[in-house]
Amino acid sequence: MLTGRAPMTHATPSRLETFVAHPGRALFNLSLPMIAGFTVHALYTVVDSVFIGRLGPEALAASGYISSIFYISIALTNGLATGITANVAQSYGAKNTAAIDEYGGTGLTLSVLISIVLGIATILAGPALIPLLGAEGASISLAFDYMAPLFAGMPLFFIATVLRSMLNGKGDAKRPMIALAVSTLINVALDPLFMFTFGMGIRGAAVATLVAQTVATVMLAWMVFSQQSLKDFLKQHLAMRAQRLLDIVRLAVPATAGQLVMAMGMIAINRSVSAYGQTAMAGYVAGNRIDMCVSLPIMGIASAAMTLTGIFAGAARSDLVRRTTINAYGAALICAVSLGSLSYAFAPSLIAIFTKDAHTLQIGTQYLRWVAFSYPLMAVGMTTGRILQGLGFGWPSLIITTLRVLGIGVTGAFISTFVLHWPVTGVWASFIAGGFGALLLSIYYVRRYLWRQTLVPFRDNAEAADSEPAAPLEARGLVDEHR
């Protein structure tokens, strides 16, 4: 009997179809593995430092000097990840598989070139550079022993970043997290083996990291190319395409600059806090470790929101871009308020994990109870920046970060410390003031790019958004069906 109905199908919906059908659930499902990945990386950093610390204070100090150099590579890889993830997400939403491969191939070639230049330049400059960072005596040779293997293997870190970004851009956050977790466990297992059993010392820690990174890169490559020929991909897409390169760089440059602004801000704030004595500095460092724990879930939510808004923009669903924005703000604020309240209430116990000194405990507790009020502000600023990056706007995030960290935070801390000679609470207050500045800028950018009559979510319009009026939504097929 003919009913006039389409035949039933039991085909499994694609990831894109699932995201469109359940945008709120998609944000939750993407956020969890990203939070887990950030947490695993943070735990690895701590454990690695514990093993190196067993070699003595000179070795621990040496790793600290190299960490400051390595942060440059982290800033570059994070910037590259932002540029690739956002562009791949928009292409995935538009169902443009050719563009996804082109962004991946261009990103791989770019990453190899940057990593080789960075690695060679750093190794050659190492003997002269390390003493300039403050290393003395045995720490100089130990620092170079640790640095040389890491920077020789720099292409591994960059290639893994591109592969992970290709997966994240398509909404696949779970498998990259598994690769990161496996490589971290391998690294932790190999550290004592290479450092102590094989007698390699601090160089063994670097070699263990490279072995673990090789495993992660192979796993990520298998995940990316399990359903397509790696040989064909390299043959067709490894040559950089000018437009794809421009799209990636347009986001990568401001994202990298934002990371470097954060590093500069940390150095400057340390200078202000240290003016109040080493006890104040110790309390601040202890409190800063709690800050990192609070920021991890917010970073995961913001990163997931970047991917989703990029996908929905590529799919021409401005309604879902806006809905995801609201959901991301809600989730980030809930985390910030909840964790901020806990850190305020249990501040003495949390700081006591790191120190038993009464004065340090007092300073750390004071710090946490001030900055707890800045967590919701930080959540809004961070989420706004990542969402706009997902839509192809890289500079707002840099501007928000620069205002919050350097324009208000560092400036306020320096004035409070060296001009007004206020207590150290003036430095803590500057963090809150910076958060308010970021909040105001976030409201401005969100209203301008997401809640105006002419929403401009695509790459090819991002450059002209500040100088030319955008085409109406209806003219570009971006009609908000639920507006």
Where would I find the H helices in 346-473? Answer: 347-352, 358-371, 375-390, 395-402, 411-414, 425-449, 459-462
For the chain, percent of residues with pLDDT exceeding 70? 91
Rounded CA-CA distance 86/100 in Å is 11
Instruction: Determine the average pLDDT of the residues in 211-234.
Output: 88
- Flag whether the pTM goes above 0.75: yes
- According to the model, what pLDDT value does residue 208 have? 95
381-407: average pLDDT: 94
pLDDT digits (tens, 9 = 90+) for 133-191: 778 888 889 999 999 999 999 999 999 999 999 999 999 999 999 999 999 999 999 99
- Do the beta carbons of residue 22 and residue 167 sit within 8 Å? no
DSSP tag of 417: I
Mean pLDDT of all residues belonging to the chain:
86
Among 291, 159, 154, smallest CA distance to 234 is for 159
Of 67-76, 261-270, 289-298, 324-333, the range with the highest mean pLDDT is: 324-333
**C-alpha to C-alpha distance for 157 and 173, rounded to whole angstroms:** 18
Domain boundaries, the chain: 22-240, 255-483
**313, pLDDT greater than 60:** yes
Does the pLDDT value for residue 396 go beyond 80?
yes
Q: Pick the closest to residue 455 from 466, 471, 442 (CA basis).
A: 471
Q: For residue 279, give the 3-state DSSP assignment.
A: helix
pLDDT digits (tens, 9 = 90+) for 438-478: 999 999 999 888 876 445 444 443 333 343 333 333 333 33
Q: Quickly tell me which residue has 């735990």 as its tokens.
A: 43
Over residues 254-271, the mean pLDDT reads 89
Tens digits of residue pLDDT in 24-44: 999 999 999 999 988 887 777
Distance of CA 182 to the CA centre of its chain: 20
The confidence score (pLDDT) of residue 12 equals 59
With a CB cutoff of 8 Å and minimum separation 6, the contacts of 317 are 20, 93
Please report, as a single letter, which amino acid is at residue 262. Answer: M
Q: Is the pLDDT of residue 2 over 60?
A: no
Query: Residues of the chain with pLDDT > 90: what percent?
Result: 63
Residue 436 Ramachandran class (φ > 0 left, ψ -120 to 50 alpha, else beta): alpha
Q: How far, in Å, CA of 272 to CA of 436, rounded?
A: 21
